[in-house]
Structure 1
Amino acid sequence: MSTLRIPQPVPPVADDCEQLRKAFAGWGTNEDLIISILGHRNAAQRKLIRETYFETYGEDLLKALDKELSNDFERLVHLWTLDPAERDAFLANEATKRWTSSNQVLMEIACTRSSDQLLFARKAYHARYKKSLEEDVAHHTTGEFRKVLLLVLDHNYEHVVKHCTYINVKRVVLIWISYGKLYIDIGSFFSLIVYWVLFAVQCSDFFCSYRYEGDEVNLTLAKTEAKLLHEKISKKAYSDDELIRILATRSKPQINATLNHYKDEFGKDINKDLKADPKDEFLALLRSTVKCLVRTERYFEKAARLAINKRGTDEGALTRVVATRAEIDLKIIADEYQRRSSVPLDKAVAKDTTGDYEKMLLAILGHDDV
């Protein structure tokens, strides 16, 4: 459920553009006017505003906003104004350039977006950065996390690995040399072939595969795979190919059925058996992956709670949660936050943030005057 409040009737898009232009004019920026418009328009309306603004004034609205605004307020407005697919591409690219908590962001995008949303994000990434999302993820990540993340992002990964012997190796080498990229961290020529085929695959809609998103559930399969998961986890074989395959490729209803049977059969929630180990980043990410897949709202509630309750607010995480979930399930996340913390999310945000950043957050949360 969305928290966004849109005025009725919605002003004409030409009027919105004119008012935004006025907000940028003169010696000082009218931040309140910007918030009153962009903080109360949905994704389709914001996209139309961007297009009309460019057609009318010959300037990209995002560049105008970046020039006029600053700090956390600028970042929030920028992310919010982006098309959802562009936003995911932007966040993913940003994550591949950082080495602190960035794997969590990549996993979050991969596990909470639908197959169509991931496809659109991959296309947006390719258009914006002139390279593939898989290419940058493969370069940025290592070990088992790379394997699970690439498989979630593109289910063709498993297919490519199985059929890699049919590749013309000399042709791949020539492509690799002509492209001029060297991945010294990949470790093997076989892996290089895999990633390059993935790059070629992702450029074609025809080859794109999808995680099934219907409601059909195979209970027999759920029981079988619950036992398999328990066996692997009992042996602490967290990086086992079969365990990763189940989590990365099964539909969310199927995973839910499997994990429900896991709890019924073995008496514990799977994340209780995936015991947290501060020294094991992959295990922590695996736990987060499970939560993202089956309890998305709880995952984001915890992300918001940790962002606010830290000594010094984690504005990056708070901005990401609000900007990416406002039109999807932020109302449910806010309700869960209040249930867990006994404080309304908007009150917690108001207490921990200030200025125009606070005003924009509250507008998106639906707690300001339209």
Structure 2
Amino acid sequence: MTMATLTVPAQVPSPAEDAEQLRKAFQGLISFCFSLPLRFELMKCYSVTWIHYREELLKTLDKELSSDFERVVLLWTLEPTERDAFLANEATKRLTSNNWVLVEIACTRSSLDLFKAKHAYQARFKRSLEEDVAYHTSGDFRKLLVPLVSTFRYEGDEVNVTLAKSEAKLLHEKISDKAYNDGDLIRILTTRSKAQLNATLNHYHNEFGNAINKDLKTDPKDEYLKLLRVTIKCLTFPEKYFAKLLRLAINKLGTDEWALTRVVVTRAEIDMQRIKEEYQRRNSIPLDRAIAKDTSGDYENMLLALIGHGDN
């Protein structure tokens, strides 16, 4: 795809004019779904007006949106770090609190992307993400979530096998004792690299006969244990986690459009192909068909465009 030559307007429109133009452009976005590089190129060409656009987008998101289509377009138009900052802030508010969103951002982004999202959060909300997570959570949830959003994990592939074996044993001891909020258990999950953690959990499975998440299902209704399992899935097998989240969002009584929108928008340019493969493997129906059965109109078209409807 080649990008047409862009002409910078001689007179910069006002923020109100920008917002009105943006609203009128929503309908046209369906037929031309911006790729990430093209969105950034457009931002550079209109660097002055983009500041106004971004502020208007964030203000609109902060209000009750008029439609699911508007929300998916607005979230998609934001830069990923700005989007994560907005979603994280939304997840700490009383009426829209969602610990799963915080875990997703902390565990499925790279260390650098998480750092950038926290920087965007601080610039936007004049507080740290850690500060808001600590304030809006309590007990075991706070004990897990604050270090999760605070970490900067090593991203390399190097693994210490001896450490993996010893920490697998330590995890098994804590889980056997039902010490699910133990400091060492939380330390391992919140600080070890994903490669190291995968090695530890493989030793856990091989040595003790069960996957760790199976041993954490002693009380399926316990919300803290559920969050522990979500943390482990996001760190070790994110496409499996997102495929299940999509199934829950689509198949529940009344579609969970916020979860559906969030997953499609945040994973569209990262691992959506793997998520689609995992979804079909586990549900025996293609994701695009499942979305088409449960949504309609512009919202359906936008979601299908973002997941690559018709792509192999």
Indicate the structure (1 or 2) with the bigger Cα radius of gyration. 1
- 1:357 corresponds to 2:299: yes
**Are the aligned partners of 2:122 and 2:129 in contact in 1 as well (CA < 8 Å)?**
yes
Query: Which structure 2 residue ranges, 5 or more long, are not aligned?
Result: 9-16
Give the equivalent residue in structure 1 for 2:280: 338
The one of 111, 114, 131 aligned to 1:115 = 111
Task: Look up the match of 2:4.
Answer: 11
**2:29 is equivalent to residue 34 of structure 1:** yes
Task: Look up the equivalent residue of 1:79 and give its one-letter code.
Answer: L
> Secondary structure of 1:74's partner?
helix
Matches of 1:86 and 1:119 in 2, distance apart?
A: 12
- Is residue 214 of structure 2 the alignment partner of residue 289 of structure 1? no
1:307 corresponds, among 249, 267, 281, to 249
* Offset, 1:23: 12
Q: Flag the structure with more relative contact order, 1 or 2, with Cα contacts below 8 A and sequence separation at least 6.
A: 1
Structure 1 position 133 matched with structure 2 position 129: yes
1:61-106 Cα distance to aligned partner (Å, 9 max, x none): 6637959x84111111111111111011000000111356601111
Q: Normalised by the size of structure 1, how large is the TM-score?
A: 0.75
Check conservation: 2:90, 2:97, Cα contact below 8 A. no
1:220-299 map, 5 Å: 220-275=162-217, 277-299=219-241
Asked whether the equivalents of residues 53 and 59 of structure 1 are also in contact (C-alpha less than 8 Å), the reply is no
Q: Following the alignment from structure 2 to structure 1, what is the Cα–Cα distance between the partners of residues 51 and 274?
A: 40
Deviation of 1:115 after TM superposition, in Å, equals 1.0
Name the Cα RMSD after superposition: 2.6
Is 1:82 matched up with 2:78?
A: yes
CA contact (8 A) 1:53 1:60 kept: no
Q: Which amino acid aligns with 2:289?
A: K
CA distance in structure 2 between the partners assigned to 1:233 and 1:253 by the alignment: 21
Contact 1:89 1:124 in 2 (8 A): yes
For 2:56, which of 63, 81, 97 is the aligned residue? 63
| Residue matched to 1:5 | none
Work out the number of aligned pairs and report it: 298
User: Which amino acid letter does the alignment assign opposite residue 310 of structure 1?
Assistant: K
Over the matched positions of the two proteins, sequence identity in percent amounts to 61
User: Match of 2:30, SS?
Assistant: helix
Q: Aligned to 2:104, what secondary structure does the other structure show?
A: helix
- Tell me the distance in 2 between the aligned counterparts of 1:282 and 1:57: 41
**In the alignment, residue 73 of structure 2 is paired with which amino acid?**
V
Tell me, what secondary structure is at the counterpart of 1:327?
coil
Q: Any runs of at least 4 consecutive aligned residues in structure 1 with deviations exceeding 4 A, and if so which?
A: 21-25, 56-59, 64-67
| Structure-2 change in CA distance of 1:11 and 1:276 (3 Å) | farther
- Unmatched runs of 5 consecutive residues or more in structure 1: 1-7, 16-20, 156-209
Shift of 1:53: 4.1
Equivalent-residue separation in structure 2 for 1:118 and 1:22 (angstroms) = 30
Alignment check: 8 A CA contact 1:73 1:357 kept: yes
Q: Deviations over 1:99-124 (max 9, x none)?
A: 56601111111111111011101100
Aligned equivalents of 1:255, 1:57: Cα separation in 2: 41
C-alpha distance in structure 2 between counterparts of 1:99 and 1:56, whole Å: 32
Q: Is the Cα–Cα contact under 8 Å of residues 18 and 49 in structure 2 kept in the other structure?
A: no
TM-score by length of 2: 0.88
Residue pair 2:54, 2:78 contacting (<8 A) in 1 also: no
